[in-house]
Structure 1
Amino acid sequence: MAREKFHTLTEQMFYILLCLTKEQCGTDIMAAVSALTDGRVNVGPGTLYNLLEQFQSAGMIEETKVEGRRRSYRITAAGRQALDEEYRRLITLAEDYRRILPEEGASL
């Protein structure tokens, strides 16, 4: 059975959508993801623009401004719903971890 597209998000997808809760262009998104994660997650231009195109096709983000080659985007209601669902999924994973490994989970 094929997995539904965007049913779960990769870290890069999650952080791109999170950064687009405010309008940003591609270079700003790449910098924001790196800054937000202290360099733990980086998004290269090929990955970023591929994901932006997919998100836009899926109605999860919208293009807000075009200035020459510079395009800005922001999250839509559908994108916010996907981001919220992924957040709840991650919380559930963490709660399961704490339930199974309470001592280790408590020390984090």
Structure 2
Amino acid sequence: MREATYFILAALQGGALHGYAIIKQAEALSQGRVRLATGTLYTALDRLTGEELVRVVNEEVVNGRARRYYDLTPDGRAALQTEATQLAAAARVVTDRMTTVVARPAVGLA
């Protein structure tokens, strides 16, 4: 799963959001690493909707523009949980070794 997708799904954990709110929440959750352009977000949301990981739950017109609200589906929640578990396990491989691996000289360097 791409980092942007992960944080889009994570942004929706707390409930339905419209596009701009997803952009801001993903940026906050990623501590600024994920900065989604509008086109990128809606391309991702279209793909995630097609994969049935997110769904449109409401649509309204605000200032003459359509505003769609997206939410996670049960499959979306499961995919996010699976990815989070895999990322945590991968991080543990490194962090657990930090305390046990002793620095040793590089082989073959003069």
- Does 2:30 match 1:37? yes
Percent identity between matched residues is: 29
Q: d(CA) in 2 for partners of 1:38 and 1:88?
A: 20
Normalising by structure 2, report the TM-score.
0.80
Structure 2 gaps, min length 5: 102-110
Match of 2:42 in 1: 49
- Structure 1: how far apart are the matches of 2:43 and 2:53? 14
How many residues in Structure 1 have an aligned counterpart in Structure 2? Answer: 96
Indicate which of 75, 78, 82 corresponds to 2:75: 78
- Partner amino acid for 1:85? T
Letter of the 2:2 partner, please give it: T
Show the 5 A alignment for 1:1-108: 9-21=1-13, 22-68=15-61, 69-102=66-99
- Give, in angstroms, the shift of residue 41 of structure 1: 1.6
Q: TM-score, normalised by structure 1?
A: 0.81
Distance 2:96 2:38 in 1: 39
What's the RMSD between the two structures over aligned residues? 1.5
| Structure 1 residue 103, shift from structure 2 partner | 5.8
Alpha-carbon offset, residue 98 of structure 1: 2.3
Of the two, which has the highest radius of gyration? 2
